[in-house]
Structure 1
Amino acid sequence: MFPTPIQNRSRAAQITYQSLLPLVLILWLLPLIAVMLFSIRPFSDFGQGNYWGMPSSFEFFTNYGRVFFESDMPRYLLNSVFITVPTVIGAVALSCMTGFALGIYRFRGNLLIFFMFIAGNFVPFQILMVPVRDLTVDLGLYNTKLGLVLFHIAFQTGFCTLFMRNFIRALPYELIEAARVEGVAEWRIFWFVVLPLMRPAIAALSVLIFTFIWNDYFWAVVLTQGPGAQPVTAGITSFNSQFVAQFHLMSAGSIVAAIPPVVIFFLMQRHFIAGLTLGAVK
């Protein structure tokens, strides 16, 4: 039913696997490698069609210097921080409470409410573009960081609730019962008993949501415009003018924009893996 581990396969299969793995890894990293090479090329190379050859000169400091000191990239990065961090905090906090309510309490309509949270994840977000934009305009939240934060919290809470509810359901229910026998209030059970056990799940979910929101481009373009509120994913397009696309600066900006999620993942890697694997074995 399950594939045989590569260690238990024949020697020929192991050699084939070891030979193909570096090739597949290179193919997977090829777009990122191309962007990194483009980010150190001079603009003249693109006009001459020198995309994959040796750069005529290495403009690492020039290109990245222009990105940081001659553009609005620092402001776009700051916008992304002000959008992503509150969204992660809001979505995770709400999902912890809704997951606790749906995972611990037994009441009529529990599954219906849970399915409503799940159903939101199956709605194609493209069809919501016009009504969501109109709603933000009517509420005065269009082209504001607050509007983007509230929108992301609303849409991410469904997935987060699914994640947290299933995690809480796997916790020993005897701990809840023992606390209730001792007369502990429900909110204290949540805060002092359940929440500490949810730390691995909170860490894993925070990394996932941070990556989702930081890398969002579609809603950043739909709900914001200009450096006042746009995050870095949409701000990279500011390097394109009407007639000229500055691919070297766009590539440098893309590398800069990709660094924070990578750093967050490596900082939270231990907690992230623990949160995803907790409960996999006993």
Structure 2
Amino acid sequence: MFPKPIQSAPAPARIAYKAALPVALVLWLLPLIAVALTSVRSAGDITAGNYWGWPTDFHLWENYTAIFENTPIGKYIWNSFRVTIPTVIGAVALSCMTGFALAVYRFRANLLVFFMFVAGNFVPFQILMVPVRDLTLQMGLYNSVTGLALFHIAFQTGFCTLFMRNFIRAMPFELIEAARVEGVSEFRIFWYVVLPLMRPAIAALAVLIFTFIWNDYFWALVLTQGADSQPITAGLYSLNGQWVAAWHLVSAGSIVAALPPVLMFFLMQRHFIAGLTLGAVK
């Protein structure tokens, strides 16, 4: 039923695996390598069609300096933080409370409410493009960081609730019962008993949501316009020239835009892996 570990496979299979792994890794990293090389090319290299060859001139400092001096990329990055950080805090905070309620309390509509949270994850987001845009226009939140952050909080809470509810259900219920016997209020049980045990799950969920929201392009393009509210994913298009595509600047901007989620993952790596694997083994 389960795949056999490669260590127990026959010798030819192990040799083929060791030979195919570096090839697969290079193929997977090839687009990233191409973007990294393009970010240090000169405009003349790209005009001459040198897309995949070794750069004739390295313009590392010039390209990365130009995107900050000649484009509003700093404002785009700041907008991304203004959208992503409130979304992570809001979605994780709401999901901790809803997950606790759905996991601990037994009421008649418990499963129905849980299915409503889960069902939202299966709706294709392209279908919601026009209604969501019209709703933000009616509420006066179109083309604003607040509107984009509120939208992401609303949509990410369903997935976060699914994650948190299942995590809390795996906890020993005897801890909550013991606290209730001692006369501890429900809020104090949540704050002092359950929430400290949820730290690995909160860290894992925060990394996932940070990455999802930071890399979002579709809703950033639909709900925002201009440098005052657009995040970095939608703002990268502004790095192009008016008449000629400045791919070296776009590539440099893409590398800069990818740094925050990468740093977030490495800073939270220990907690992230612990949150994903907690409960996997007894």
TM-score by length of 2: 0.99
1:231 alignment partner in structure 2: 231
Contact 2:43–2:246 (8 Å) recurs in 1: yes
Q: Tell me the amino acid that sits aligned with residue 32 of structure 2.
A: L
State yes or no: 1:186 paired with 2:186: yes
- Give the structure 1 partner of residue 15 of structure 2: 15
Amino acid at match of 2:112: L
2:71 alignment partner, SS class: coil
Aligned to 1:116: 116
2:196 is aligned to 196
2:210 matched residue in structure 1:
210
Flag structure 1 segments of 5+ consecutive residues without an equivalent.
none
CA separation in 1, counterparts of 2:174 and 2:24?
Answer: 47
Name the residue aligned to 2:256. Answer: 256
Structure 1 distance, partners of 2:34, 2:55, is 12
Distance 1:160 1:250 in 2: 33
| Pairs within 5 Å for 1:106-185 | 106-185=106-185
Q: CA deviation at 1:242?
A: 4.5
Deviations 1:27-77 (A, max 9, x none): 001110000011001111121111112222111100000012221011111
Deviations 1:244-280 (A, max 9, x none): 2110000000000001100000110000000000000
Query: What is the CA–CA distance in structure 1 between the aligned matches of 2:171 and 2:229, rounded to whole Å?
Result: 41
Which range moved further: 184-193 or 40-49? 40-49
Partner residue, 2:270: 270
CA RMSD of aligned residues (A): 0.7
Instruction: Give percent identity, aligned residues only.
Output: 72
Q: Is the 8 A contact 2:40 2:60 kept in 1?
A: yes
Give the C-alpha shift of residue 240 in structure 1: 2.4
CA offsets per residue over residues 191-247 of structure 1, 9 Å max, x none? Answer: 000000000000000000000000000000000011101000011010224432110
Q: 2:207 and 2:32 mapped to 1: Cα distance?
A: 21
* The 10-residue stretch of structure 1 (67-76 or 163-172) with the greater mean CA deviation from structure 2: 67-76
Larger mean Cα displacement after TM superposition, 50-59 or 139-148: 50-59
Gaps of 5+ in 2: none
Distance in 2, Cα, partners of 1:251 & 1:257: 10
What TM-score do you get using the length of structure 1 for normalisation?
0.99
Give the conservation status (yes or no) of the 8 Å contact 2:67–2:239.
no
